């Protein structure tokens, strides 16, 4: 039997990333660094718990968001009006401090002959958010992937989120949220279409 390794290997057999044992050791080192004793009863299993939590937090790296959009429907009886999925909750982590980003996303598009199941739109938000992020990039990635796969007349994404990197450290400001948007196609070119979408965002935000 071969000895356990501290690195995972990719398909080529070359070292790819640290293995579970190396990650757990790193978390134990962090516990010691903050002044704790990782061997005490309450913390003995914490490194393995954190590893499992991180695997869930960052599961988006293992999924292809564009693949989630490839199953579409064309039997829509000519439907060509705006489709909006409102208030999709998500949890992400900022890439600068690994602090939580908690927010909601509004995703809209105007179809061109084909539509996608609404759960797939939420899935795209979930996949991109379960990666290290900045909100501006998250907003653009969601919109760009929908445009790339569905090729609709337009895509609009608005994200409103609170950032714990400014709530629990640094300036320590509570109650502030960051709003970002990405408008493509008719949402960028036609003010009335953009205004209709933003009214749907505001009506739910204020309710």
CB 114 within 8 A of CB 74: yes
- From the CB of residue 90, how many other CB atoms can be counted at a distance below 10 Å? 20
**Residue listed under structure tokens 């996949």:** 127
**Residue listed under structure tokens 């960051």:** 178
How far is the first Cα of the chain from the last one, in angstroms, to the nearest whole number?
62
190 in catalytic set: no
| Residue from 96, 136, 151, 204 carrying the catalytic annotation | 96
153 in catalytic set: no
| Residue from 147, 164, 165, 190 carrying the catalytic annotation | 165
**CA dist list (Å): 34 to 31, 37, 113:** 5, 9, 57
| Residue from 94, 133, 141, 153 carrying the catalytic annotation | 94
- From the CB of residue 114, how many other CB atoms can be counted at a distance below 10 Å? 13
DSSP assigned state of 160: E
User: How far apart (Å, rounded) are the C-alpha atoms in residues 130 and 121?
Assistant: 15
| Residue from 36, 66, 97, 164 carrying the catalytic annotation | 97
94 in catalytic set: yes
User: How far apart (Å, rounded) are the C-alpha atoms in residues 101 and 134?
Assistant: 9
| Residue from 36, 66, 95, 147 carrying the catalytic annotation | 95
135 in catalytic set: yes
User: How far apart (Å, rounded) are the C-alpha atoms in residues 23 and 99?
Assistant: 19
| Residue from 93, 135, 141, 153 carrying the catalytic annotation | 135
204 in catalytic set: no
| Residue from 24, 133, 141, 163 carrying the catalytic annotation | 163
The residues that are catalytic are 94-97, 135, 163, 165
């Amino acid at each position: 039997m071969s000895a356990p390794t501290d690195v995972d290997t990719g398909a080529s057999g070359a070292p790819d990333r640290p293995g579970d044992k190396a990650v757990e050791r790193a978390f134990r080192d962090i516990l010691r660094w903050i002044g704790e004793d990782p061997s005490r009863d309450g913390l003995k299993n914490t490194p393995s718990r954190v590893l499992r939590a991180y695997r869930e937090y960052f599961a988006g790296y293992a999924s292809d968001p564009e693949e989630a959009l490839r199953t579409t429907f064309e039997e829509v009886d000519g439907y060509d009006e705006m489709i909006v999925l409102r208030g999709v909750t998500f949890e992400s982590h900022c890439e600068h401090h690994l602090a939580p980003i908690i927010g909601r996303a509004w995703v809209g598009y105007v179809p061109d002959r084909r539509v996608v199941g609404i759960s797939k739109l939420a899935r795209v938000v979930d996949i991109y958010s379960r990666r290290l992020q900045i909100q501006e990039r998250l907003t653009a990635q969601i919109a760009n992937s929908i445009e790339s796969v569905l090729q609709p007349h337009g895509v609009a994404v608005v994200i409103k989120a609170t950032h714990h990197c400014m709530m629990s450290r640094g300036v320590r400001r509570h109650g502030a949220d960051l709003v970002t948007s990405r408008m493509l196609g008719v949402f960028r070119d036609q003010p009335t279409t953009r205004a209709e979408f933003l009214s749907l965002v505001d009506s739910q935000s204020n309710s």
